[in-house]
């Protein structure tokens, strides 16, 4: 009887495999957001000398290599923990810890960044309500939604995904109508909006690609739901690649039309809000207001899904004893969610929003992500090409050339981050290394034997 009770308790404290392939794709699209091109279009357009659309196509190629690597590693290790789990098993236990530690920076910052952005915007629209109140309400809503279970998160995602999709399609529709009405249908075909020989240069294009990859960050969070997916061996890979392709189609269409409506050389009032100026031009105050509202919705959606992914990364590390198991390895008996990790993330979002600067958060968001991308690509080479010896035919490409290409591209973008981002990012890695040295007694004790309470 006692054994049966213990088995039942163990089963109730596990993540439940309830997510379909559609749920995973939806989750990934919500976290990257269909409107991700809105806030960066003007910046990418300027940085790339008018080649924002081409920059997104190039960014897609770069991200697809890494997306395929996440899918392959999810098939090999269909467990929560994502990057941490893959690097831990394929490379080294210590590398896995540092991978998870690095990705924590990314996962923690995305919901925090969203909390700051949404709270600032809401406080400006409703100045009678103080900024800290908005920060608390935002953090509380996201946290409670995630604690109540992944099904609740999925339902909230569906609502917000619908709003963001309507916004993206409305922008495309208004842009097509504006161009066709003013210059005829032929105005919709403008090759120079993709490639202009007069302004093209490789350096500016690659700078634009680096910025455009911001619109893809977060797709890897799909892999954190491996233990809640019905068929993780197949569905995680399908979802990560599908998210990258669908995201590119949406972003490319938006920036291509925006580049025709607002040709390169015509100055922006503010590059960061260029899409709002274009929205007002093609759709008046109605589209302008709706676009502004959807940007707030996108912030909530991104924070909701990022927090869910971060909590499951912490859960994976807590369950393995690398973080205190009593806090991070706990699963709520009713909701089957890592509730204590989620509550911690909610508290960090609230208090961080009170003290963190928005600009530094933006600069730091890429650091942890690209460390993870590099290690996951290397994990594919180590696990499939070297350990399993799958090297002939198509395996030569999928197990070596593709992940090696993903490693090179990710390293290039990572090394070209701002000095402030690299300074704080490497400091965070240094703290993680010191923590790991203490845990393992200078690597004399293997991490697999650790059992923190």
pLDDT at 449 over 70: no
pLDDT tens per residue across span 50-107: 899 999 988 888 788 888 888 888 778 876 557 778 888 888 888 888 887 887 777 7
pLDDT tier, 11 (very low <50, low <70, confident <90, very high otherwise) = very low
Q: Which two tokens stand for residue 125?
A: 């629209």
Domain boundaries, the chain: 23-446
User: Which residues make Cβ contacts (< 8 Å) with residue 49, sequence separation at least 6?
Assistant: 196, 199, 200, 201, 204, 205, 264
Question: What pLDDT score does 264 carry?
Answer: 80
pLDDT greater at residue 385 or residue 209: 385
Cα 324 to Cα 170: distance, rounded to the nearest angstrom: 47
pLDDT tier, 7 (very low <50, low <70, confident <90, very high otherwise) = very low
> What is the CB neighbour count within 10 angstroms for residue 10?
10
Question: What pLDDT score does 155 carry?
Answer: 66
pLDDT greater at residue 191 or residue 327: 191
Return the minimum-mean-pLDDT range out of 57-66, 97-106, 173-182, 390-399: 97-106
End-to-end CA distance of the chain: 26
Question: What pLDDT score does 389 carry?
Answer: 92
pLDDT tier, 213 (very low <50, low <70, confident <90, very high otherwise) = confident
Q: Which two tokens stand for residue 321?
A: 């004893």
pLDDT tier, 447 (very low <50, low <70, confident <90, very high otherwise) = low
Backbone angles phi, psi at 200, to 5 degrees: -75, 140
Q: Which two tokens stand for residue 73?
A: 């590693």
**CATH architecture designation of domain 23-446:** Up-down Bundle (1.20)
Question: What pLDDT score does 383 carry?
Answer: 93
pLDDT tier, 257 (very low <50, low <70, confident <90, very high otherwise) = very high
Averaged pLDDT for residues 401-419: 84
Averaged pLDDT for residues 18-43: 80
pLDDT-above-90 percentage for the chain: 12
Question: What pLDDT score does 452 carry?
Answer: 40
pLDDT at 2 over 70: no
Question: What pLDDT score does 379 carry?
Answer: 94
Question: What pLDDT score does 120 carry?
Answer: 76
Averaged pLDDT for residues 253-269: 86
Instruction: Return the ∠ at Cα 341 (arms to 233 and 17), rounded to 5°.
Output: 30
pLDDT tier, 417 (very low <50, low <70, confident <90, very high otherwise) = confident
Question: What pLDDT score does 256 carry?
Answer: 93
Cα 95 to Cα 135: distance, rounded to the nearest angstrom: 35
pLDDT tens per residue across span 329-354: 778 777 777 888 888 888 888 888 88
pLDDT tier, 378 (very low <50, low <70, confident <90, very high otherwise) = very high
Question: What pLDDT score does 13 carry?
Answer: 53
Return the minimum-mean-pLDDT range out of 274-278, 282-286, 359-363: 359-363
Q: Strand, coil or helix: what is 229?
A: strand
> What is the CB neighbour count within 10 angstroms for residue 448?
11
pTM of the prediction? 0.71
**Residue 370 burial (10 A CB sphere; 0-12, 13-18, 19+):** buried
pLDDT greater at residue 2 or residue 384: 384
Backbone angles phi, psi at 229, to 5 degrees: -90, 140
pLDDT greater at residue 88 or residue 442: 88
pLDDT at 404 over 90: yes
Question: What pLDDT score does 230 carry?
Answer: 78
Averaged pLDDT for residues 276-305: 83
């Amino acid at each position: 009887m006692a054994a049966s009770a213990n088995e039942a308790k163990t089963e109730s404290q596990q993540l439940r495999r309830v997510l379909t392939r559609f749920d995973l794709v939806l989750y990934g699209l919500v976290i990257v957001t269909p409107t991700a091109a809105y806030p960066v279009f003007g910046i990418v357009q300027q940085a790339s000398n008018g080649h924002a659309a081409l920059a997104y196509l190039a960014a897609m190629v770069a991200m697809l290599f890494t997306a395929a690597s996440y899918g392959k590693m999810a098939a090999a290790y269909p467990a929560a923990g994502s990057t941490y789990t893959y690097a831990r098993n394929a490379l080294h236990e210590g590398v896995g810890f540092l991978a998870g530690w690095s990705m924590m920076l990314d996962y923690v910052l995305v919901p925090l960044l969203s909390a700051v952005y949404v709270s600032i915007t809401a406080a400006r629209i409703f100045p009678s309500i103080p900024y800290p109140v908005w920060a608390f309400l935002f953090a509380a809503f996201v946290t409670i939604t995630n604690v109540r279970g992944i099904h609740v998160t999925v339902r909230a995602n569906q609502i917000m995904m619908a709003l963001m999709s309507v916004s993206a399609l409305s922008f495309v529709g208004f842009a097509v109508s504006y161009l066709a009405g003013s210059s005829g249908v032929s105005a919709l075909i403008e090759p120079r909006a993709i490639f202009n020989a007069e302004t093209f240069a490789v350096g500016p294009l690659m700078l634009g690609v680096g910025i455009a990859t911001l619109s893809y960050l977060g797709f890897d969070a799909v892999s954190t739901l491996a233990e809640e997916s019905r068929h993780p061996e197949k569905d995680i890979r399908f979802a990560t690649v599908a998210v990258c392709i669908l995201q590119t189609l949406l972003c490319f269409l938006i920036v291509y039309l925006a580049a025709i409506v607002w040709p390169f050389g015509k100055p922006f009032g503010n590059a960061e809000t260029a899409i709002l100026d274009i929205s007002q031009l093609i759709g008046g105050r109605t589209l302008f207001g709706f676009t502004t509202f959807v940007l707030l919705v996108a912030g909530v959606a991104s924070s909701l899904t990022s927090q869910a992914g971060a909590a499951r990364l912490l859960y994976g590390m807590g369950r393995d004893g690398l973080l205190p198991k009593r806090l991070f390895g706990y699963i709520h008996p009713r909701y089957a969610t890592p509730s204590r990790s989620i509550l911690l993330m909610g508290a960090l979002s609230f208090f961080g929003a009170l003290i963190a600067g928005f600009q530094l958060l933006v600069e730091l968001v890429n650091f942890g992500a690209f460390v993870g991308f590099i290690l996951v690509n290397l994990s594919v080479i180590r696990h499939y090409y070297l350990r399993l010896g799958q090297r002939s035919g198509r395996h030569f490409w999928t197990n070596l050339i593709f992940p090696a290409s993903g490693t090179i591209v990710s390293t290039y973008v990572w090394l070209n981050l701002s000095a402030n981002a690299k300074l704080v990012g490497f400091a965070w890695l240094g703290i993680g290394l010191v923590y790991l040295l203490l845990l393992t007694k200078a690597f004399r004790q293997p991490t697999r034997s650790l059992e923190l309470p």
